[in-house]
């Protein structure tokens, strides 16, 4: 079982920052992240995962002033992970960077650099932005439509992966006696001209320790699944039920062969939000304490964001979710949230209480054994290759998982006691990609 520690500054619950044991200034507290990363590494997690947004989400100042979510005040992730790489040695680092408001050359260069700095522990979480508020920070009045976002993302990923092959592994001779710094035959100019991007290349960073940083994708829509089957090596997703999880797993893994890939080439790691206690009563008490801290203004805004960004303030909190038009934001998250509300017959208030922690991801409340039982069930039934663990509060929620759940998983032989390798790829069980130009030359020689 693969495990990521998904660190949202004070914790994933919408009211986490208000909890007495949470680090309220976590978003800009570097030592807080150092302690978390080192704790996750000591526990043998595969990776630390950071989400990101390039703009605060929303114009409702009353809501924004009451929440630490919505990317109000927190570090830029690649900068943060580069610093954390210096105080760790084995755990992987995955940062989010959007294809909507970046250029492929920038992303390729930054993640190749992070891979070098960390000694082969970098991963890029490829996302398409879904917020109008981000678009307005990048010379746009409106956001790209959904189909265009994914078309751009597909080409973006193609360019980035090609740039990571600009240099063959042994291109840099650095031979002082001959005066030759690199082998000209092992430098490759991309000269890409596509629908969205024109990139000459080559990348001005040597090929990184992993060949390519691990490519992670977050997205479960039809377009997202198609993109993942072509490009992703890890997919971060959200399903509420075992049936949905096994269906998603089979669907995405089943698309790999068409792209010349093996099922083991892609690890599916859904998000899981665990509230763990030494007894079930203690776990429930922890959950109810957090729930009591939710401001209704924040809860309503959360539901509005998850259901497509439509203003719900005109509807009664104790009434049902109204019929809503299809969103141009995250289609999969809108569908998942509305389906949850319909399936459980939830009012708007009940829905925000239901999703305040996990935001549509799988929420578990119980003892270490209870949590391990449910993680094992989904894992052995081919609903997941592992999980991206979303602690409700930080540091406490991560500590609870490490102390109460991991020993139970290890007792069952489901999680490692030591790292298998030095790089993120090795620990995830992913092959190191061969440089495409080296492959082409070998094919020519064999023919």
Q: How many CA atoms lie within 13 A of 134 on its CB side?
A: 18
Q: How far apart are CA 62 and CA 89, in angstroms?
A: 42
Q: How far apart are CA 312 and CA 305, in angstroms?
A: 10
Bridge partners, residue 2, by sequence: 386
221 among the known binding-site residues? yes
Q: How far apart are CA 2 and CA 79, in angstroms?
A: 25
Q: Which CA distances in Å does 335 have to 11, 239, 331, 342?
A: 25, 11, 6, 11
Q: What angle do CA 225, 226, 229 make, to 5 degrees?
A: 85
SS3 content of the chain, % helix, strand, coil (to 5): 45, 15, 45
Residues near 364 by beta carbon (within 8 Å), at least 6 away in sequence: 272, 273, 274, 275, 370, 371, 374, 375
> Tokens 């914790």 appear where?
11
150 among the known binding-site residues? yes
Q: Which CA distances in Å does 162 have to 231, 247, 435?
A: 12, 32, 9
Token couple for 258:
């068409």
Q: How far apart are CA 184 and CA 167, in angstroms?
A: 10
52 among the known binding-site residues? yes
Distance, first Cα to last Cα, the chain: 41
220 among the known binding-site residues? yes
User: What is the phi/psi pair of residue 90, to 5°?
Assistant: -130, -30
Q: Where are the beta strands (DSSP E) in 195-331?
A: 198-199, 214-218, 234-236, 267-268, 271-277
Q: Where are the beta strands (DSSP E) in 37-83?
A: 47-50
Residues near 8 by beta carbon (within 8 Å), at least 6 away in sequence: 16, 51, 69, 390, 394
Q: Which residues line the annotated binding site?
A: 52, 96, 146, 150, 220-221
Q: Which residues line the annotated binding site for FMN?
A: 52, 96, 146, 150, 220-221
């Amino acid at each position: 079982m693969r495990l990521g520690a998904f660190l949202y500054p004070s914790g994933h619950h919408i009211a986490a920052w208000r909890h007495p044991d949470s680090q309220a200034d976590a978003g800009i507290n570097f030592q807080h992240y150092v302690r978390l990363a080192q704790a996750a590494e000591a526990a043998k997690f595969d990776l630390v995962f950071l989400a990101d947004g390039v703009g605060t989400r929303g114009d409702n100042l009353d809501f924004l002033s009451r929440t630490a979510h919505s990317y109000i005040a927190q570090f830029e992730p690649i900068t943060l992970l580069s610093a954390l790489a210096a105080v760790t040695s084995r755990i992987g680092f995955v940062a989010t960077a959007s294809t909507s408001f970046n250029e492929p050359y920038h992303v390729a260069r930054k993640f190749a650099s992070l891979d070098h700095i960390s000694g082969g522990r970098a991963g890029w979480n490829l996302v398409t932005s879904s917020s109008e508020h981000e678009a307005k920070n990048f010379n746009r009045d409106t956001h790209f439509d959904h189909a265009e976002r994914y078309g751009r993302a597909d080409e973006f990923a193609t360019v980035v992966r090609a740039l990571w092959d600009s240099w063959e592994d042994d291109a840099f001779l650095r031979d002082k006696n001959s005066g030759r710094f690199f082998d000209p035959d092992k430098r490759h100019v991309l000269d890409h001209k596509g629908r969205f991007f024109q990139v000459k290349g080559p990348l001005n960073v040597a090929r990184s320790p992993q060949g390519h940083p691990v490519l992670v994708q977050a997205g479960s829509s039809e377009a997202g699944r198609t993109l993942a089957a072509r490009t992703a090596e890890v997919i971060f997703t959200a399903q509420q039920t075992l049936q949905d999880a096994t269906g998603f797993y089979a669907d995405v893994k089943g698309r790999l062969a068409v792209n010349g890939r093996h099922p083991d080439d892609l690890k599916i790691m859904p998000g899981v939000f665990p509230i763990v206690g030494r007894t079930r009563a203690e776990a429930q008490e922890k959950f109810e304490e957090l729930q009591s801290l939710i401001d209704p203004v924040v809860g309503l805004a959360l539901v509005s964001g998850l259901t497509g960004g439509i203003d719900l303030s005109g509807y009664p909190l104790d009434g049902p979710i109204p019929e809503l038009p299809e969103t141009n934001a995250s289609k999969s998250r809108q569908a998942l949230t509305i389906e949850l509300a319909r399936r459980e017959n939830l009012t708007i208030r009940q829905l925000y209480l239901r999703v305040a922690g996990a935001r549509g991801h799988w929420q578990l409340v119980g003892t270490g054994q209870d949590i391990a039982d449910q993680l094992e069930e989904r894992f052995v039934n081919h609903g997941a290759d592992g999980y991206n663990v979303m602690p409700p509060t930080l540091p406490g929620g991560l500590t609870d998982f490490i102390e109460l759940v991991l020993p139970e998983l290890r007792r069952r032989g489901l999680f490692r006691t030591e790292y298998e390798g030095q790089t993120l790829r090795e620990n995830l069980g992913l092959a190191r990609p061969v440089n495409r130009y080296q492959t082409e030359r070998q094919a020519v020689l064999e023919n």
